[in-house]
Each structure stands twice: as C-alpha cells, then as structure tokens.
Chain A
C-alpha cells in the first residue's frame, strides 16, 4: 500500500485579483511518505496548502483523497476528511492543559468534564508520538518544540491521515528539530503522510522522500530526494544561476571609517556573539531565514529589544541601546518589518506621519510651526516621488509602496546617519521596489550607511556591498559583493554545515 497515492491535486489554479497565485499545479502524496514542498516566498506554497486545508477554494482543478474526489469547503471539513495543518504560528491556548488543548471543543462530556478520561486519552496520543509531555501540564509551561508536538497530537487525535507542517523548524533549536524528525518518522511508520514546507534545504534532505518545487505559481517538478542534491534544488527554486548585480553607485564604501561597530552582541536564545562593523556609505546585507534573528538584531540596535551582553559603538563612541528615542538621537533610523503596525499611524495624514521623527525640528514652546512643517514634508514628498493628492491625505489610503516611502521619508527628514532596513520591499510591487532601491542608492551616495535585511536573497545579493549570513542567531559567514546565490542560499539554509 505504501506506493499508493493518498492524495492527488490536479490542475489547481487560483487567482487573487489580477495576480495568478497558482497556475495549473499538480501534486500527489503517497501513503506514509514525507513530501517536501519548497519554493521562494510568493511561489505559491501557502496558497496551495490553504486550498488543501479548506481555508481557500481553488478557482479550478480537482482534489482526490484516497481516489475519491473531494471538495474542501472549510477547515472543519478538511479535518473530518483527515487533513490537518500545523501552522508556523502555533494556535494553542496557553492557560489550558495539554489534554484540553488536544481535545479542545471535542471533549466527550455529559455536562461535566471527565478529567480522568480526558487525560488518559491525551496521554495515549502523546505516547503514540513518543512525546515526553504530561497531559495535565499547562501549555504555557511548555517549550515551543513541545507545543508543536501538542499541535501534532491534536491533529492525530482527530485521526488525521495527512499532516501539513508549515516551517516547523523555524523557531526551534537544532536539537529540538532532531526530536521533531523522530516524531515525523514515528508518524510515517503509522502510515500517516506528511507535507513538509521548509526553506531549510539541509533538513529537507534529511527527512523527505520526495520534493516538489514551486516557482511563481507554477509547479516546476517533483523529484525523489535521493536522486538530487541541494545545488540542484536551489537552481530549480530560483530558476537561474546568475544574477545581475545593481550597478555600483559612487564608490564610497571602501573608506575605512567605521560608523557602527557591534561587538559580541547576544540576546538570550535569539542571538549569539554577533560582531561586525558597518562603514560609511556601505550597504551591509543580512541574509537569513525567518527566525534566524535578523529582526531581533535590528530591534536590539534600535533599543526596542533588550540585549543580554555585548558592546556597540557609533562613530567610535560607546552606545548603550535604551529606547528608540535614544537611538534616533544617536543617528539611527529603523524602517520596521511590519509597516502597518510599527511604521505608520494609518489614521493620520501623510504630513503627520512624515513629521513624527522630526517633530523637534519644528516646534517652539510646545507649538508646532505648521508652515515650516508643511514645507519640509512637501520637500520630502517630492524627493521620494510619493504619489498623493495632498499631504493631508490619510496614510491608510495609499498603496504599500507609497506607504513604505513615507516611512523612509520620516528618516530622510531628520537626515539619519545609519538606516536599519527590515524587509523594506515586503509587500510592494516591482516598480515600487525599484524606487526603494533607488532611494537606498541615493542615501549611500550621500554618505549614509545601510543595514539591509531581506528574506529575498536575490535582493540582498543585488544591492549589498557585503553580506553577513545569519543562521539560528549566529553569523555563519561574511561574504563579499557579488557572491553567487547558491553559496548564499547554502549558508542561509544550512548554517555552518558547509564550512
């Protein structure tokens, strides 16, 4: 039975407005296999899996489960059919016990909870997994890896035949990942099939039987894991071997003046011993997967996340991060990852948003010099080519690209010296991306220094003068400009293993 197919998806297509998220994608899964699904961000992995778990409906195409055609209208039906998904963001209730979480909403009860029965049943499921967790424990006392096991147990308790794991190792340690792999093997021994989504290629080869590659909404191919290798997969994911580097702007970065020096910076469980220097006019790229610690690094430099140890120097003067206010006064600026929640006050005008960081420049005795403010804001709007009808327009009414330019504008207004950019191109269209790159080029040509973080490795490579690769909270490699994408991807997805 092992070679028979439990699931077949045929010709699945899905569109969101004008963009085609999936175009005629086929995928099949065998009984008891681990089937890895890989591709860049935006390749269509999540859309495909959301269709399979009933969160989205395909526009066309058929799904067959155990040779029977099925229609999955919602996640509840998916669960009834034996399809479960464990999300990257775990969805457990911390204040309840493990057993209550596993059987949440499904406790067999005659008004009163039969605790003994509940715990016994939960223990049995956990035992099947080989998980060392007591079902009476509250979920809040568990580690992330243990919580993940509880999620898997929850799926199992619903008699799941096919389990989808979405980036299960993104937030756990390598040791915990090994335990997870053991759990996965136990499941496959019970003939349960796994669809395994991950960016970490090294572990994909460790655990998977077959690999399906998606790119730009198309299925590229499905391969047996033992018939291929990481280089082959990377090439298929990216669709190319070579990248065009952005043309070098005015050369400034080989001046040796160090504007920022980070020495042995650590944050408990998040960053270990990070050391690097940033030079005047340099774009320092940081390549790393989600959960590698890249956002934490920027937030810590900006004083929004406490550090455990380490020293930071700005222009050779010691800088102890405290609050963002202090960071701004020291010449730092942050374009945060989450534009809508951290970058902008959406209900306020373009003018008010751009002015926020620079309010000190135009007020006297508490009163705002509004005409000066307007003038400076209009200046920024023109400089960054922000397309608006009026500077009094609400920030919420703008496109993602224009909103991002407002966040940049905030810092341009006060002429920040060191810009920390966390995923500055996320969720904006290609044209706006190009404009953001132009803004960055312009900034460095004026002697500003940039730390550029992105999960799009191609972007990091195209724009950076130097690339630091972060993996699991450590810098695993310092690579020069023009390093090929395979090398960067290897380090970012597999850490030190390639040394």
Chain B
C-alpha cells in the first residue's frame, strides 16, 4: 500500500523494489561521486563538500518552484532574469534606500511573487503559451535589472553576509534555507490541495477542469511560487557574491530546468518529485566541481553538461518507450 510503489513511473523489479527515475538519478550521482573520489584526492574533502553545498543552493532553491511549474505542465524560462533582478533589488534597497536587510528581503520576495504572477497572468489570462510568455519576461526582467542599476554592479561590502556566507554551527546558511524550501515543497506536493492540482493539471488539465475545479487560480499560484523561489535564490546569491550584479542570474534557468529533468520530472508534466530535482541539482554541481578539479575549462564544462542532460533524458525515454 505504498504510494510510491504503485503510482510512480519506473521499472519494477521482483520483491517490490521499483527503480524510479529519482532512484536512478541518485545511483548516477553516487557513481559520479565515487569515480571523482578515486580520480581526484581533493574531491572527497570537507571543504570541497561545503563548497558543493553552497553551489547547489542557488539551483536548488530556484529549482523547487520550477519543479512545481514543470509538473503542472508549464515551463518557466524567466528564472535567471528574476534572480538577477532580485539580486540588484536587494542590494539597491539596502545601499541606495538604506533599508534594513530583513525588510529588503521581504520586499524582494513580494516583488518576486509579483513577477511570477505576471508570468501566470500572461499564460492564463492572455493565453500565451508558457514557453513564449516566460521567454518574453526573461527578456523584460533582464532589462529591468539593467535599467535599475544602469548596468553597474551595486557593491555590498562587509554587509548582508548571513544568507549566502553565514554558518549555523558547521552548516552553511544557504543550505538551511534550501532544506527549508524543500521541506515546504515536499509538504505542498504531498499534502495540500495545491499539490494535488499540480499533478492533476500536468496529468490531464481537461479532466481536472471537467471535475469542476478552477484551473486558472492554481496556475497563477504555481507561477507565483516560482517567482518567490527565484527571488529567494537571488537574495542568497547577492549575499554570496557581495554585490548586486545585474547579470548574475544569467543562464541559471537552464541549470534549474536541467536539474528538474535530471531528477525525473517529465517535461510534459504530470510526473516529478521535489527529491528528484535536488538530486538533479547535485548531479550538475558535482560534475561541474569534478571538471574544475580536473582543470577542464568552464567552456568545456558546458559541453559536458549538455551531453549529460541529453543522455539522462534519453535513458528515461527509452524506459518509457519499452513500457509502452
């Protein structure tokens, strides 16, 4: 009677074990980590692990919201621009307007929600396909970040250290934030009306609509959450780089979507989990880290990431192909 045994996709083995995409991704992650530990003496060290955790937090936090969006059958390309805009706003609010950090953060999260709501409205009210709507806002929000700063970075010298660089005991604060986001995300998906609607909309929106459910409201909420998690990632990023860089979130959406897909979220909706996305984010970061340690240029790393993403999805598709 375990839900996971019966209703999630994957290959069934004897004695009730089922290889779900998340478990597959986890095995891949462990395999990569083991290989890296063997080939490189610096990989398996505490300092490198803390480094990894910090790096994963940005993709991870933003990935939680995007996971909801993708499971519901949508897509959000504007993540990177929303992160950039949040980075400059949180820095600007403190530096230019002299706001208290906590107030600046709350304000930025509210603005993030509004940015997400705009995405949702373009999609549900104006009926623009999600990929186009969020491509448009990717461009527009990027412009907003550049206009706000005039293209310059806003320095944050020796302040606003906690969200990105702080520690609670040995644990980095960004990791605690990320863990919090995922606990909330897990609860939403599993125990709330919203979570049920996320899967329903992605699985068969028409059937859900014909069951008498309001579809638009939930789509709006889902995109709003994606805006909030992106701006939270922006807050953490601003603190980590100590600066309001207007291009700092550039391209993050690609990593975030890749993380969700690597973790088994179906790009057409209906299938996916929070845990999968975080594993996917770790895979991306560990590969980056390993390639760094092996002195592969950042340019070459893009090629590697592309190949990994394509292979992972190909493996998943082959599995579902065999099933049908």
Interface residues of A (CB under 8 A from B): 302, 304, 323-325, 327-329, 334, 336, 341-349, 352, 355-357, 359, 363, 366-368, 370, 389-390, 392-394, 410
With contact pairs A324-B210, A325-B213, A393-B6 given, residues A346 and B204 touching in the complex (Cβ less than 8 Å)? yes
Residues in A with CB closer than 8 Å to B3 are: 349, 392
> Considering the chains assembled together, what is the distance between the CA atoms of A226 and B193 in angstroms?
64
- Asked whether B211 lies within 8 Å of A368 as measured between CB atoms, the reply is no
> Considering the chains assembled together, what is the distance between the CA atoms of A394 and B6 in angstroms?
7
User: Is B212 an interface position by the 8 A CB rule?
Assistant: yes
Residues facing A in B125-180 (CB within 8 A) are none
Residues in A with CB closer than 8 Å to B191 are: 367-368, 370
Shortest Cβ distance from A345 into chain B, in angstroms? 4
> Considering the chains assembled together, what is the distance between the CA atoms of A390 and B3 in angstroms?
9
With contact pairs A348-B199, A356-B200 given, residues A366 and B192 touching in the complex (Cβ less than 8 Å)? yes
Shortest Cβ distance from B193 into chain A, in angstroms? 5
Shortest Cβ distance from A410 into chain B, in angstroms? 6
- Asked whether A347 lies within 8 Å of B1 as measured between CB atoms, the reply is no
User: Is B270 an interface position by the 8 A CB rule?
Assistant: yes
- Asked whether B212 lies within 8 Å of A325 as measured between CB atoms, the reply is yes
Dominant secondary structure at the B interface: helix
Residues in A with CB closer than 8 Å to B199 are: 345, 347-348, 352
- Asked whether B203 lies within 8 Å of A348 as measured between CB atoms, the reply is yes
Provide a sorted-by-A list of 30 A–B residue pairs whose CB atoms are within 8 angstroms: A304-B210, A323-B214, A324-B210, A324-B211, A329-B212, A341-B206, A342-B207, A343-B207, A344-B204, A344-B207, A345-B199, A345-B200, A345-B207, A346-B203, A348-B203, A349-B3, A349-B6, A349-B7, A352-B200, A355-B196, A356-B207, A356-B213, A357-B213, A359-B193, A366-B192, A367-B191, A368-B196, A370-B191, A389-B6, A394-B6
Residues in B with CB closer than 8 Å to A302 are: 210
Shortest Cβ distance from A170 into chain B, in angstroms? 23
Interface residues of B (CB under 8 A from A): 1-3, 5-7, 191-194, 196, 199-200, 203-204, 206-214, 270-271
- Asked whether B212 lies within 8 Å of A324 as measured between CB atoms, the reply is yes
Residues in B with CB closer than 8 Å to A392 are: 1-3, 5-7
Residues in A with CB closer than 8 Å to B214 are: 323, 325
> Considering the chains assembled together, what is the distance between the CA atoms of A325 and B217 in angstroms?
12
Residues in B with CB closer than 8 Å to A366 are: 192-194
Residues in B with CB closer than 8 Å to A367 are: 191-193
With contact pairs A341-B206, A347-B203, A348-B7 given, residues A327 and B192 touching in the complex (Cβ less than 8 Å)? no
Residue of A nearest to B4 (CB): A392
Shortest Cβ distance from A354 into chain B, in angstroms? 10
Residue of B nearest to A339 (CB): B207
Residue of A nearest to B2 (CB): A392
Shortest Cβ distance from A361 into chain B, in angstroms? 11
> Considering the chains assembled together, what is the distance between the CA atoms of A387 and B120 in angstroms?
40
Residues in B with CB closer than 8 Å to A410 are: 211
Beyond A334-B210, A368-B191, 14 additional pairs, beta carbon < 8 A? A302-B210, A336-B210, A342-B207, A345-B204, A348-B199, A348-B200, A349-B7, A356-B213, A363-B193, A366-B194, A389-B6, A392-B7, A393-B6, A394-B6
- Asked whether A368 lies within 8 Å of B1 as measured between CB atoms, the reply is no
